[in-house]
Amino acid sequence: MEGTITTATAETSNLLDKISIENLLGIVEKYGFPVLYAILIYLIGSWVIKRITKVLKNVMAKNDYDESLQVFLFNLVTWALKIFLIITVISTLGVETTSLAAVIAAAGLAIGLALQGSLSNFAGGVLIIIFKPYKIGDLIEAQGVLGVVKQIEIFTTKLVTPQNKLAIVPNGAMANGNVINYTAEGKMRVDLTIGVGYGEDIKKTKEVLLAVLTSNPKVLKEPAPSVNVSELADSSINFAVRPFATPEDYWDVYFATLENCKIALDKEGIEIPYPHRVNISKQA
């Protein structure tokens, strides 16, 4: 009796092992190979995307594409290829393409409604690339920010401020707002006001200030720098000192002009007035 039970138990165990192996093989056949195939497609696709984007970057650089356009197109193509790869991998796992397309369309509509600002920024980026109000390297002022354009991305523009801070401004606001491009004309006027005492000779003062401007190699000869009386103030004759410089040399010219004008006026004995305070005391 005991031998019969042992034999039955062994047969049952063998049957269970056989069923488990068959189920495991079935699971591997049904899911394992598609998963491995999907992983293989992802790895190959990622390699292909890297090659395509590398070739695209080389072609744009070789044909002297605008740097802003290069960055924008590179990001756009890279994201488009990655999305296509993800859809291909998902469909390889057995998800029906039609169902996937419907889900993507529904999700796209919901995301589009939720991210209207982002879509506006994307459209703004396209407009910036097409109409080129500014490009990488330009000194601009927009949305209350002054800085050099570091990068134009799909949704944002990155500016480096004079304080070396990174400002990230949405492209929608950049495309629809006012933009002042200081680099576009290649020349910037430096506006300074310097006052001297009423007892000083106006002609001599103009000659001294103009000599300071013309002696600075970073001051452009065309348009010519100018010095003119701008105001007869309460305690000084104010001169509008107007040198021109390239955008890159703007601050160098600004600070050098202030310093050298003070040195030159002191050397010639021309007084620069300063506010006087008069104290009036009432005596009992």
Name the β-bridge partners of 232: 237
pLDDT score, position 205: 95
**Phi/psi-derived region of residue 218, left when phi > 0, alpha when psi is between -120 and 50, beta in every other case:** alpha
Q: Where are the beta strands (DSSP E) in 210-267?
A: 226-232, 237-242, 244-245
pLDDT, tens digit only, all 284 positions of the chain: 544 555 545 555 554 455 555 555 555 555 566 777 777 888 888 888 888 888 877 777 776 666 666 777 777 788 788 878 787 777 776 666 555 556 566 655 555 544 556 678 888 888 888 888 998 889 999 999 999 999 888 889 999 998 999 999 999 899 888 999 999 888 999 999 999 999 999 999 999 999 999 999 999 999 999 999 999 988 899 999 999 999 889 989 999 999 999 999 999 999 988 765 555 555 55
pLDDT at 95 (0 to 100): 63
Would you state the pLDDT for residue 141?
A: 93
What distance in Å separates the CA atoms of residue 168 and residue 155, rounded to the nearest whole number?
Answer: 10
Residue from 69, 74, 44, 71 nearest 56 by CA: 74
User: CB neighbours (10 Å) of residue 157?
Assistant: 30
DSSP3 helix / strand / coil % (the chain, rounded to 5): 55, 15, 25
CA distance 178 to 144: 10
DSSP string of 5-52, one letter each residue: HHHHHHHHHHHHHHHHHHHHHHHIIIIIHHHHHHHHHHHHHHHHHHHH
User: Are the beta carbons of 99 and 52 closer than 8 angstroms?
Assistant: no
To the question of pTM greater than 0.75 for the whole model, the response is: no
Q: In the prediction, which pLDDT does 113 show?
A: 47
Cβ neighbours of 148 (radius 10 Å): 19
Structure tokens at 254: 């600004």
Cα separation, 134 vs 157, in Å, equals 10
pLDDT given at position 283: 59
Does residue 246 contact residue 185 with C-beta atoms inside 8 Å?
Answer: no
Q: What pLDDT score does 249 carry?
A: 92
Q: Residue 193: which H helix or E strand, with range?
A: strand 192-196
- Alpha-carbon distance 159 to 128, whole Å? 15
